[in-house]
Amino acid sequence: MRKRTIDNYIKKMHRNNSGFTLIELIVVLILMGILLGTTLYAGLGWQDWAQFKHEEACAEEIFYAAQNQLTELDSSNALYSKIARPMMKSDDITEGYKAGYQLEESLFNTIVYEKNNNSDVTYDLKTIWKNSNRDKDPGHLVRLKVNANEYSQYLGGTLPDDRREEATLLFNMVAPYISDKSVLNGTIIIEFSPDAGQVFSVCYSDRANSLEYISKESVSSGQISVMNRVLQERESVMLGYFSVDSLYKKVRGRGTLELNLRLRIENDNVFSFVVEDDNGEIGENDQLSFKVYDGDTDSEKMTIQLNNSEIKTATSIKQGIETASQNPVTASVTFPKGSSKYSGATDDVSKNYRIPAFKIKEDGKPRIYIILDAADVQAQTLSYSKSKYFDGKEGFTYDEANDNFVNTFSFYRFGLSNDVNYIYADLTVVK
């Protein structure tokens, strides 16, 4: 009985061998079309995203190339002759820069850089300078611009007369520091201050013929407006952008003599400020004052002051770290009223901290290392934030900091709140 049932089932299967019906085929094709369309849409979206990231990366690379060149020229006292003078109206500095190079305050202050409650937020030339008299001397910005494929003309010596000076200045500035020279055939704008030797921003695109300081509604085919630098707007037109939040006047010593100092922040084996004093201009009895800012809000967080005479000399970085850790310098750290550490204070608060510091010569040039964290601050941030002392609140009390961190070399002994993601600083030398 069982065998007959199986035989009947097999015969039935053989009779039902007509294949898919028309409706089944239509359903399968529709499903395949939907899947294919979704895949293509996702692929195109990823392609656009990857292209925009390329534009952003090129802008960042050109930014650092330009800054490296300005720093190098400034340290060799060639910044004026190589960059500033060709852009000026005459040898008289007071006459300013040529109209084609000067980025006028009225124009700069209409550039949108972010949205706040659906309202446009524009730059302000006076407020981007952090250590100058903003009303009397707001600082100056100039811009260099090249159009698409002008780098090839630059190499071939075929630049038009009206483009030769500007394009040559820009390419001479960045080309030595760019590994893939093909990116220079894009259209580029570099905004910077020759007076301060600092780059403010770079705009870049290899999808346009030129970048223009005009409204989006006024651009023609092949042009991109640089007047709206909000991320979403830039992504829609493939405009790469990289900038800093602020600029600083050069540090000046007593009188009118300019100090050729550079301050960089290192986060390698230790987290430290490094003062590059190539000409040995910092005196033995001078005082170093580092003003530290929150990189997100530009708000002042603390000022670290220490005497150069107390800093010991080392023969190597390794020996310097060891010696400095065993014999730290006593530094005065001042927290401004209303800061996250002393949010309830009605006046500035000053405390003494032990800070490792040492001097060394690198390639015969004096360097001063001020160690703020004896461990990698980026690697440690997460573990600190998970501790009971960093539970997401605005700050923590001085007693907690004193009991748990003040006797360590952790950066968090300074009690900055957990929402400070990165910092920057400026240096003043007190004679």
The model's confidence at residue 309, banded by pLDDT at 50, 70 and 90, is very high
pLDDT at 103: 92
| Alpha carbon distance 128, 139 (integer Å) | 9
Residue 38, CB half-sphere, CA atoms under 13 Å: how many?
A: 6
User: Using 50, 70 and 90 to split pLDDT, how confident is the model at 314?
Assistant: very high
State the pLDDT at residue 307: 93
Distance of alpha carbon 317 from alpha carbon 305, whole angstroms:
22
pLDDT in tens, 261-307: 788 877 767 788 899 888 888 888 889 999 888 777 777 888 999 99
Give, in order, the Cα–Cα distances in Å from 179 to each of 17, 176, 307.
Answer: 66, 8, 42
Q: What pLDDT is attached to residue 53?
A: 92
Average pLDDT score, the chain: 79
Tell me the helix, strand and coil percentages in the chain, rounded to 5. Answer: 35, 25, 35
The mean pLDDT of 360-377, rounded to a whole number, is: 81
**Cα separation of 204 and 208, whole Å?**
9
Q: List beta partners, residue 207.
A: none
Q: What is the dihedral of CA 229, 231, 232, 238, to 10 degrees?
A: 80
The domain ranges of the chain are 50-243, 262-430
The pLDDT of residue 392 is above 60:
no
User: Which of 103-107, 129-133, 267-271, 417-421 shows the highest mean pLDDT?
Assistant: 103-107
Higher-confidence residue of 258 and 211: namely: 211
By three-state DSSP, how is residue 186 classified? coil
Decide if pLDDT at 321 tops 70. yes
Provide the CB-side half-sphere exposure for 33 (13 A, CA).
6
Q: At what angle do helices 22-75 and 161-174 cross, to 10 degrees?
A: 90
Residue-level pLDDT at 7: 57
What pLDDT is stored for residue 337 in this prediction? 78
Are 59 and 238 contacting, i.e. CB atoms less than 8 angstroms apart? no
* pLDDT exceeds cutoff 80 at 85: yes
* pLDDT score recorded for residue 41: 64
